[in-house]
């Protein structure tokens, strides 16, 4: 069985969502025949796209939620139904031991992702991070821990704003 975790940007344009989904479908399909488990924080953007592709391919999803209040405090109403659907579809839900969503909770969630992973897919534009616990930091931590990293940034992908 292959366990692949994901990290990535939340602020993808609509066109980029389509490009990233297509790239992930191709990459993850290569792992499905040996039993695929995907590990994701199921946040808007890369995390939820990855989780949805894992499920659509028949893989097993592990959702890592950064804090007890994450859904109420951080999930915007427009994304709430998708978050709930992915959480319910997950074979396992791990809620990190933090009452409130904050940088420490996000870092702990990323550490848990990497602890479980045989491989990390990073939906990442390659730019430096803008604070601790983001995509760039997770990629650096994976590399330091010798977890293989595949950067997924299809040609034409851009971030909103």
Using DSSP's 3-state secondary structure scheme, residue 93 falls into: strand
For 42, half-sphere exposure in the C-beta direction (CA atoms, 13 angstrom radius) is 31
Q: DSSP class of residue 127?
A: P
Tokens 């990442």, residue located: 124
| pLDDT at residue 131, as a whole number | 66
- Going through the chain in order, the beta strands assigned E by DSSP cover 2-8, 36-40, 60-65, 92-95, 119-123, 149-151
Q: Which two tokens stand for residue 28?
A: 């993850």
Q: Could you list the pLDDT tens digit for every one of the 161 residues in the chain?
A: 899 999 999 999 999 999 999 999 999 999 998 899 999 999 999 999 999 999 999 999 999 999 999 999 999 999 999 999 999 999 999 999 999 999 999 999 999 999 999 999 999 999 987 766 789 999 999 999 999 999 999 999 999 97
The topology (CATH level 3) of 2-151 is Rossmann fold (3.40.50)
Q: What ranges do the domains of the chain cover?
A: 2-151
Q: Which two tokens stand for residue 115?
A: 């602890």
Q: What angle do CA 43, 32, 60 make, to 5 degrees?
A: 45
């Amino acid at each position: 069985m292959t366990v692949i975790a994901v990290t990535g940007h939340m602020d993808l344009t609509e066109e980029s969502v389509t490009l990233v989904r297509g790239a992930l479908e191709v990459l993850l399909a290569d792992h499905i025949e040996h039993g695929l488990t995907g590990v994701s924080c199921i946040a808007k953007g890369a995390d939820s796209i990855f989780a949805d592709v894992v499920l659509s391919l028949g893989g097993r999803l592990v959702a890592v939620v950064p804090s007890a209040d994450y859904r109420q405090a951080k999930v915007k109403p427009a994304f709430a139904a998708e978050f709930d659907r992915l959480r319910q579809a997950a074979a396992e839900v791990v809620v990190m031991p933090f009452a409130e969503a904050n940088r420490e909770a996000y870092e702990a969630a990323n550490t848990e992702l990497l602890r479980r992973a045989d491989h990390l897919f990073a939906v990442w534009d390659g730019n430096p991070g803008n604070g601790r616990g983001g995509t760039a930091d997770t990629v650096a931590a994976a590399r330091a821990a010798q977890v293989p990293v595949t950067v997924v940034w299809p040609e034409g992908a851009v971030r909103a704003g």
